[in-house]
Amino acid sequence: MARIARSDQAAFSGLYDRLSGPLYSLALKMLGDAAEAQDVLQEACLQIWRRASSYDPTKSSVFSWSVIILRSRVIDRLRSRGRRLRVIVPLDQSGDEPIEVSVASTTENASDTAQKNDEASRVRSILNQLPTEQREAIELAFFSDLTHHEIAARLAQPLGTVKARIRRGLLRLRDAVQTTQLV
């Protein structure tokens, strides 16, 4: 793991050869779909590669640590499967207006879709009212799917500053959403 943390591709390849079979079998058993199991295995392996430096041999074996990572990815996949509606709020080129607000499943009725669209627009509006540094950090984390470390590097800010901005922004966002629901 220390070699993988230093970006040693040969070490990672060896680890992958040892773990990919059992991890794939576990993902397949949990998901029941070969394509999704492959996707989850890839996501887990990418996370293992990126977080190798956080592995602590005093807490678990490499295999157990890898299973925990895989299990987390599987749970995320199962949760997303269970959602009836996925709200999408990409921005147009100017960054001001949503292009498409939602894609409804066949079980959604027009009222449900309209409600989700309104909610997505309201959240985007509240997000736009946050201080620029908080909004930017949140957008990079949630819309660009960057890690805190990647955000810190992109913004040339200390990691603690980025984490604090995201946390404060999310708290403000939560409070504003709760306040507008009461009105």
> Tell me, what's the pLDDT at 92?
47
Cα–Cα–Cα angle for 118, 165, 102, rounded to 5 degrees:
20
- Which top CATH class is 85-182? mainly alpha
Residue 128 CA to its chain's centroid (Å): 21
For the segment 73-124, what is each residue's pLDDT rounded down to a tens digit?
988 888 877 653 344 444 545 555 544 444 444 444 566 667 666 777 777 7
Number of Cα atoms under 13 Å in the Cβ half of residue 38: 2
Beta bridge partners of 87: 102
Residue 2 CA to its chain's centroid (Å): 25
pTM: 0.47
Closest CA to 45 of 6, 2, 86, 9: 9
Find out whether 127 and 138 touch, Cβ atoms under 8 Å: yes
Find out whether 137 and 158 touch, Cβ atoms under 8 Å: no
Domain coordinates in residue numbering, the chain: 2-82, 85-182
DSSP 98: B
Architecture category of domain 2-82 in CATH: Orthogonal Bundle (1.10)
For the segment 6-58, what is each residue's pLDDT rounded down to a tens digit?
999 999 999 999 999 999 998 998 888 888 899 999 999 999 999 999 999 99
